[in-house]
Chains A and B, each alone.
Chain A
Amino acid sequence: DIQMTQSPSSLSASVGDRVTITCRASQGIAKYLAWYQQKPGEAPKLLIYAASTLQSGVPSRFSGSGSGTDFTLTITSLQPEDAATYYCQKFNSVPWTFGQGTKVEV
């Protein structure tokens, strides 16, 4: 099975900072990658799909890039409400494996 590895596992940044989270697949997955945000006690929320397409209603400070094995989630101008754990998920073939998560503190 394809493994998904996120880095870093956690980070702390200030309001207004630019934050980058990386997700690496152990084999190529084209652009079959999604990013989710999860806050404590809540269900995950879809941010990005197809590696770079912003889900409707998601603020434009979130963006995604990459294809093949290397992907990036970027938050420009970090806001207090962006404190959460972020997960990538592959969607090229089952199992739909998630990365281990990146906790962002603001």
Chain B
Amino acid sequence: EEQLVESGGGLVQPGGSLRLSCEASGFTFSNYWMSWVRQAPGKGLEWVANINQDGREKYYVDSVKGRFTISRDNAKNSLFLQMNSLRAEDTAVYYCARESVIAVALWGQGTLVTVSS
């Protein structure tokens, strides 16, 4: 079964850092672009960042540029999101997602990040 499992969420103070992880199974992880998508409580979906198969191409939404870093370890079938200088508006459920040609066909269950003092 194809699966994505996120971890690493939690409560962090404004200005703090957190590293999210996503472990993939059931498919050849190194063949796919991967994304992080977030959803603030009661709000819509927001694409955050993505990374290509070998990790050399990375793109970010403007609101996280310079603060968040996406990376991957194909040997460990894992995707990461390093989040620094966190703000209250970064509070959200963060989903790990596998891209197909023109859609996101596989989603994780999400991990909640709460930024609050």
Contacts and interface: CB of A to CB of B under 8 A. Distances in A.
Binding between chains A and B: yes
Interface of A: 1, 32-34, 36, 38, 43-46, 49-50, 55, 87, 89, 91, 94-101
Interface of B: 35, 37, 44-47, 50, 59, 61-62, 95, 100-105, 107-110
B13 to A, nearest CB: 27
Nearest to B59: A94
B59 A34 contact: no
Contacts of B101: 49-50
Chain A CB within 10 A, most for which of B50, B103, B107: B103
Contacts, number: 61
B57 to A, nearest CB: 10
A43 B110 contact: yes
- A interface, over-half SS: loop
B96 to A, nearest CB: 10
A101 B35 CA distance: 20
A91 B45 CA distance: 14
A32 B35 CA distance: 17
Nearest to A51: B102
A97 B47 contact: yes
